[in-house]
Amino acid sequence: MAVFTGSGVALATPFDEKNRINYDVYGQLIDFHLRNKTDAFIINGTTGESPTLSDEEKTEALRFTMERVGGKVPVIAGSGTNDTGHAVKISKEAEKCGVDALLVVTPYYNKGNESGIYNYYKTIAEAVSIPIIIYTVPGRTGVNLSVPLLKKLSGVKNIIGVKDATGNLSYTAQIASEIPAFDIYSGNDDVVLPVMSLGGKGVISVSANIIPLETHEMAAAAYNNNFAKAREIQLKYLPLINALFYEVNPVPVKEALNLLGVNVGPGRSPLGPIEEKNRVILKELIEKLGVRI
């Protein structure tokens, strides 16, 4: 059974003026998503700036989220890195916090060959008892997971699915065809409908940070085979979705939240301020579409 269906928000991490996690704003964001039907929270992911969070900050953020969410929807922790031993440590700590599942990115920079990547996932899976969703995002990791490798990994007891951020619908279709029991989540907000039309269970979303109800409704419609409604929502918000990726994520989405009056602060270095031309585009789209928080 899927960890969740629908829209899981890859939650942005708010920082205060001293570059610490701002838990007052964090709580406001969680409450906002609960009111607007977000189906799951993904904490310490790419959008949450996990590469710049210490292990202690990751654990603290998870504990805070678990308490605030109170079991209303699943909480999924990002726990992958490019050191298998470290990934095991992070994964075990996340499990202790009570999360419902792990989102484990493929190793980056040192990458790993297929036997190494298989061992990486198998070792993490054997160290915990909760479900694991593989996260394949070649644009960030430089690693392409072959479908035969995914098929082999699907045989590991608690590896239950994949967040597919390849943007390659032929690849997505091949996974759906050859590993029908695998849960597929779109990792790209611009192709939620096509991925779900191939049998995907939902989306792990960046744009849901600012349009949670709309993203939930789109994913729910697609899941229930109401593709006309899902298409209407997908296309309506496509310009905004695209604008959220004019620069590296999460720079634009954090700026969008700031424009909407939610003081999430800037990204941690090496993320810098958004370019003014892109800020103007975001502001215009937010106003045109009537986005409010």
Return mean pLDDT, the chain. 98
pLDDT in tens, 240-285: 999 999 999 999 999 999 999 999 999 999 999 999 999 999 999 9
Confidence band, pLDDT 50/70/90 cuts, at residue 94: very high
pLDDT in tens, 217-244: 999 999 999 999 999 999 999 999 999 9
User: In this predicted structure, what is the pLDDT of residue 255?
Assistant: 98
pLDDT in tens, 41-93: 999 999 999 999 999 999 999 999 999 999 999 999 999 999 999 999 999 99
Integer-rounded Cα radius of gyration of the chain = 18
User: In this predicted structure, what is the pLDDT of residue 238?
Assistant: 98
Burial class (CB in 10 A: 0-12, 13-18, 19+), 129: exposed
User: In this predicted structure, what is the pLDDT of residue 96?
Assistant: 98
Positive/negative CA dihedral, 187, 84, 73, 41: negative
Segments making up each domain of the chain, as ranges: 6-224
DSSP 195: H
Nearest to 38 by CA among 74, 77, 78, 1: 74
Separation CA 101–CA 99 (nearest Å):
6
Write down the CATH number for the domain with range 6-224: 3.20.20.70
Please say whether the beta carbons of 107 and 132 come within 8 A. Answer: no
Residues marked active site are found at: 135, 163
User: In this predicted structure, what is the pLDDT of residue 15?
Assistant: 98
User: In this predicted structure, what is the pLDDT of residue 242?
Assistant: 98
The answer to whether residue 121 scores a pLDDT higher than 80 is yes
Please say whether the beta carbons of 202 and 39 come within 8 A. Answer: yes
User: In this predicted structure, what is the pLDDT of residue 170?
Assistant: 98
User: In this predicted structure, what is the pLDDT of residue 1?
Assistant: 74
The answer to whether residue 8 scores a pLDDT higher than 80 is yes
Nearest to 138 by CA among 76, 201, 187: 187
Q: How many helices (H) and strands (E) does the chain have?
A: 13, 8
Q: How far is CA 175 from CA 34, 103, 125, 244, in A?
A: 31, 18, 20, 27
User: In this predicted structure, what is the pLDDT of residue 34?
Assistant: 98
pLDDT in tens, 145-204: 999 999 999 999 999 999 999 999 999 999 999 999 999 999 999 999 999 999 999 999
